[in-house]
Amino acid sequence: MCGIMGYIGAKETQKVLTKGLGKLEYRGYDSIGIALHDGTALQYNKTEGRLQDLEEKLEQEPLTGSVGIGHTRWATHGKPSDENSHPHMDAKKEFAVVHNGIIENYLEIKRDLEEAGYTFVSETDTEVISHLFSRLYDGDMVSTIQKVVDRLEGAYALGVVSQHDPDNLYAVREASPLIIGAGDGEALISSDIPALLEHTRDIYILEDGEMAILSEENVKLLETNTGKEVSRDLFTVDWDMEQAEKNGFDHFMLKEIFEQPTALQKTMTGRLDENAKRVDFDELNWTDVQISQWNKITIVACGTAYHAGLIGKHVIEEMTRIPVDVEVASEFRYRRPIVDENTLVIVVSQSGETADTLAALRQSQHLGANVLAITNVVGSSIAREADEVILTMAGPEIAVASTKAYTTQVLSFYLLGIYLAQSKKSVSQEYREKLIDTLSHIPEQIEEILDHSKGIRYYSESIKDAKSVFFIGRGLDYAVSLEGSLKLKEISYIHSEAYAAGELKHGTLALIEEGTPMVSLITQDEVSEKMLANIKEVKARGAKVLGIAEEGNLDIWEYVDETCFIPQTLSLVTPLLNVIPLQLIAYYTSLALGNDVDKPRNLAKSVTVE
């Protein structure tokens, strides 16, 4: 999704902007640009392509000035092109605007402006904003912003620099994330924290309906509608840049896969008490009475977070016997979901900004449900709007393909399941203790898998030319297969499907031919015999099977072509382990194909539009 960067201060603005945009590359983009006020006029440089393309252009025509804005664009209205790239200017070049989000009524505004004689040079919705500034400017930037915003419907985060007021940088937020960095003699705006860390750790999170005026001396937050000043506490970022850099790994994705033992440990710390054999969530404010009133739990999320929710369903149902539905947020929000004050809705989102998940959260609250968010980003829209929040402690996840966020989400569901079971007394103390003990060993067991991952690399290289790769499993293994398949397709671009193994006979077997790679998860004790029967079926049709099973399950040798063993654990907890080889298969296959592993085509890290 688009990324915004803005700077005012004494440093070299062009460099601050391009470096900051580099830190936002992970969000996915197809074009990039910056605009600076050079003390006399607004100047810009923008291009279709990547940061390097912009830097090459800037080498020929560098921009100077002490205030500027920049943008990485992920095309929504109009193809990727130089003209459609941001910043957008009005005809008189008095206003430069960068925008993240979608202006829903832009066609109507465009028609009005065209009738009034304004001409457009791009196909974007954003360009209407720069012309609106020009048309509505009344000598005062705050009241002009109010007039402009009054015309806009939709989601937007804006960065604006004006020829009339080059000593200030303006930011506006409505339903699209934007943060402000308050430095010493400088101030910045950005779509995400990593882009600011080199300059400051002191951050204001701009809320919907607010604008900010940034100068070298200070940052002022205002309610956009009224212009009334808002007081807001500074939020100090406590993780460092090192965590957001590659740290010697070739790709962020690989680094993040290897960070999972630490991320899981951090997510457990302070919550899972091994001595008392309890789970405590100090951050949750529920009472036992409230918990006892929920007759249904609904989990809503998108993509990988949805897959974590599928594990959550198994775990919570097992631990509490409360029925749990899991739904994709983009479906949930457009039907009439059966959710009320006796429902707990759990929204899961790494970024905390996914538009559909946020909409599902709001809809659920409107229907009277209590909403718990499981999210990785403090201060994100979802974290702020949910009634209760469990933060996954994954740290910044930069690769588009989610890995450590997924496992920390899954772990949060185990912790939550135990927590709810403590309150409802729905499982025996002995079982809870066993589960707590098992979870506490997961980080070291993941280390073990990572230490022996060479075989997975060879396997991945062997499937890189496959037309299709299938993943099968039963129960929790099926839920993990869905995640393995998504991971593979998003970064290797190989067609892939995941199937509940018992469903194969109902259609999918027709697709199996000589040599079709089939990744089979066989870690659910209760159905492992059934899985072996399914593997026989696919082998008989020529599939080449990789079996993923627990150490000691030597029976599988005679059924599969290749094996990958994971350490033994409880059947309920295997998802935390058996997803690791699947993440590695996706990574190494993508690598073998020479793809851009961290920034797969057509995808963005944070999906802030529907």
Catalytic pick among 2, 110, 544, 599: 2
Please say which residue, 176 or 350, places its beta carbon nearer to ligand F6R.
Answer: 350
Compare residues 25 and 165 and give the one whose CB is closer to ligand F6R.
Answer: 25
Q: How far is the CB of 289 from ligand F6R (least distance, A)?
A: 31
Based on the residue annotation, tell me whether 2 is a catalytic residue of this protein: yes
Helical ranges in 86-205 per DSSP H: 106-115, 127-136, 141-151
Measured CA to CA in angstroms, residue 273 lies from 151, 376, 418 at distances of 53, 22, 12
* From 132-140, 164-172, 347-355, 465-473, span contacting ligand F6R (CB under 6 A): 347-355
349 lies in the site for ligand F6R, by CB under 6 A:
yes
Binding track, positions 251-290, relative to ligand F6R; x by CB under 6 A: ----------------------------------------
Tally of CA atoms within 13 A in the half-sphere of 123 that contains its CB:
8
Closer residue to ligand F6R in complex, CB, 383/420: 383
Applying CB under 6 A, the span of 68-76, 99-107, 344-352, 541-549 interacting with ligand F6R comes to 344-352
381 binds ligand F6R per the rule CB under 6 A: no
Measured from the CB of residue 392, what is the shortest distance to ligand F6R in angstroms? Answer: 10
* Residue 564: strand pairing partners: 548
Q: 351 or 578: whose CB is closer to ligand F6R?
A: 351
End-to-end CA distance of the chain: 11
CA 403 to chain centre: 11
- Smallest distance from ligand F6R to CB 434, Å: 30
Contacts of 429 (CB under 8 A, 6+ apart): 277
By CB under 6 A, residue 25 contacts ligand F6R? no
Which of the 8 DSSP states describes residue 231?
Answer: -
Asked whether 440 and 275 are in contact (CB, 8 A), the reply is no
The residue number whose beta carbon is nearest to ligand F6R equals 303
Q: Give min distance, CB of 350 to ligand F6R, in A.
A: 3
> Taking a C-beta distance cutoff of 8 angstroms, is the pair 82, 17 a contact?
no
In the stretch 559-588, what mask flags binding to ligand F6R with x, by CB under 6 A? ------------------------------
To the nearest whole angstrom, how small is the minimum distance from the Cβ of residue 311 to ligand F6R?
14
- Cα 202-204-163 angle, rounded to 5 deg: 105
Phi, psi for 501 (deg, rounded to 5): -55, -35
Which residue, 354 or 569, is less far from ligand F6R as judged by CB?
354
| Total binding residues toward ligand F6R, as defined by CB under 6 A | 14
Nearer to ligand F6R, 160 or 382 (CB): 382
402 sits near ligand F6R (criterion: CB under 6 A): yes
Query: Could you give the string, one character per residue 296-315, with x where binding to ligand F6R holds by CB under 6 A and - elsewhere?
Result: ------xxxx----------
Binding segment toward ligand F6R, per CB under 6 A, in 65-73, 240-248, 345-353, 470-478: 345-353
Q: How far is the CB of 85 from ligand F6R (least distance, A)?
A: 24
Q: DSSP character for 207? A: P
**CA 133 from centroid of its chain's CA atoms:** 32
- Tell me, rounded to whole angstroms, the distance of Cα 167 from its chain centroid: 35
Which is closer to ligand F6R, CB of 386 or CB of 607?
607
**Residues 156, 149: Cα–Cα separation, whole Å:** 10
Residue 278 CA, chain-centre distance (Å), reads 30
161/168 Cα distance (integer angstroms): 7
> Does residue 607 bind ligand F6R (CB under 6 A)?
yes
DSSP letters for 380-410: -HHHHHSSEEEE-------SSS-SHHHHHHH
CB of 571 to ligand F6R, least distance (A): 25
Q: For ligand F6R, which is the closer residue by CB, 8 or 305?
A: 305
Long-range contacts of 338-342 (CB under 8 A, 24+ apart): 338/296, 339/298, 339/363, 339/364, 339/367, 339/368, 339/369, 340/367, 340/368, 340/369, 341/293, 341/368, 341/369, 341/370, 342/293, 342/294, 342/295, 342/296
> To the nearest whole angstrom, how small is the minimum distance from the Cβ of residue 349 to ligand F6R?
3
Show the site string, 157-196: x = touches ligand F6R by CB under 6 A, - = not. Answer: ----------------------------------------
Residue 330 as a binder of ligand F6R (CB under 6 A): the answer is no
Site map (CB under 6 A) of ligand F6R, residues 587-606, x = contact: -------------------x
Q: Say how many residues make up the chain.
A: 610
Catalytic member of 266, 313, 599, 605:
605
Identify the residue among 90, 259, 327, 490 touching ligand F6R (CB under 6 A): 490
**Smallest separation (angstroms) from ligand F6R to the CB of 310:** 13
Q: Is 354 in the site for ligand F6R (CB under 6 A)?
A: yes
Nearer residue to ligand F6R within complex by CB, 37 or 404 = 404
Query: What does the alpha-carbon distance between residue 534 and residue 502 come to, in Å, rounded to a whole number?
Result: 7
Sign of the CA dihedral with 183 first, then 185, 190, and 196 last: negative
Could you tell me which of 435, 446, 360 has the C-alpha nearest to residue 406? 446
Minimum CB separation of residue 302 from ligand F6R in Å reads 4
Told to judge if 605 belongs to the known catalytic residues of this protein, a careful annotator would answer yes
User: Which window, 129-137, 161-169, 349-357, 365-373, contacts ligand F6R (CB under 6 A)?
Assistant: 349-357
State how far the Cα of 558 lies from the Cα of 436, in Å rounded to an integer: 35
Task: Give the Cβ contact number of residue 433 at 10 Å.
Answer: 14
3 binds ligand F6R (CB under 6 A): no
β-pairing, 544-550 with 517-522?
A: parallel
354 or 574: whose CB is closer to ligand F6R?
354
Applying CB under 6 A, which of residues 350, 363, 492, 534 lies at the interface with ligand F6R?
350
Whether a cis peptide bond, with omega within 30° of 0, leads into 177 is no
Identity of the residue, 18 or 408, whose beta carbon is nearer to ligand F6R in the bound complex: 408
Q: How many CB atoms lie within 10 A of CB 470?
A: 24
Under the binding rule (CB under 6 A), the answer on residue 492 touching ligand F6R is no
- Give the residue numbers marked as catalytic: 2, 605
Give residues in contact with ligand F6R (CB under 6 A): 302-305, 349-351, 354, 357, 401-402, 490, 606-607
